[in-house]
Amino acid sequence: MTEHSLWPRRTPRLELRIPSLDDLDQVLTWRNDPAVTRWMLSTTVDPDSWRSAWLAGADDPFDHSVVAVLHGRVIGTGSIEVADAMGQGMRAPNAADLPWRSAQGSLGYLLDPTVHGRGLATEIVAAMLDLAFDLGLHRVTAGCFADNIGSWRVMEKCGMRREQHGVQDSWHAEMGWLDGYTYAILAEEWRAAAPAATAVRTG
């Protein structure tokens, strides 16, 4: 499957697509807003390096990163990065084909602050989970600061499970050591529980 055959995807209100240069410039109009960077690990970005990193990722089969468009305006991003899960047989002759190879996705999302609180991140996350499990992944995980309530609410609304509460496991540049959460969902759980309200159409 090529990256271009996977997109665009539509949610009830959004189109998710591989960004053009203009789309990336639209993201940059809000990407460094303090309401966005407050809980991000990658805080303020340098526009040129950020743009180059996105363009480099376009050819990376393990990086599925898209923008979300509402009424012609780029209002969010979503990403799934594919990696090996934990597994036995690393030195076996068939190690490259074992089930844990490229079995896990790491989810990311962010939204233009002018449209926070309207359920749009929930649509982006649902579409990224749909993509991940269409790709055949076994499991998707994401982490967040425990105080980023909007973020973990979005994951819970999409059926993800809190699997770890790490006490002071996450360092914040202004607040120091804070608690973090890890969330996850399995392919079969998503198929059984994908919220109807966030149904995704492809093509």
Ligand X SMILES: CC(C)(COP(=O)(O)OP(=O)(O)OC[C@H]1O[C@@H](n2cnc3c(N)ncnc32)[C@H](O)[C@@H]1OP(=O)(O)O)[C@@H](O)C(=O)NCCC(=O)NCCS
In angstroms, what is the minimal distance from the CB of 121 to ligand X? 3
Which parts of 24-43 interact with ligand X (CB under 6 A)? 36, 39-40
* 120 is a site residue for ligand X (CB under 6 A): yes
Q: Which helix (H) or strand (E) holds 29?
A: none
String marking each residue 41-80 x if it binds ligand X according to CB under 6 A: ----------------------------------------
Q: Give the residue, chosen from 4, 73, 118, 191, that forms a contact with ligand X under the rule CB under 6 A.
A: 118
Q: Which helix (H) or strand (E) holds 56?
A: helix 47-57
Q: Are strands 139-145 and 104-111 parallel, antiparallel or unpaired?
A: parallel
E strands within the chain?
Answer: 9-10, 15-17, 63-70, 73-83, 104-111, 139-145, 161-172, 176-186, 201-202
d(CA 128, CA 105): 10
Stretch that binds ligand X, among 3-11, 79-87, 108-116, 127-135 (CB under 6 A): 108-116
In angstroms, what is the minimal distance from the CB of 152 to ligand X? 8
Q: Give the residue, chosen from 4, 73, 153, 191, that forms a contact with ligand X under the rule CB under 6 A.
A: 153
In angstroms, what is the minimal distance from the CB of 132 to ligand X? 16
Angle, nearest 10°, between helix axes 21-28 and 47-57? 140
Q: Which residues bind ligand X (CB under 6 A)?
A: 36, 39-40, 109-111, 116-122, 144, 148-151, 153-154
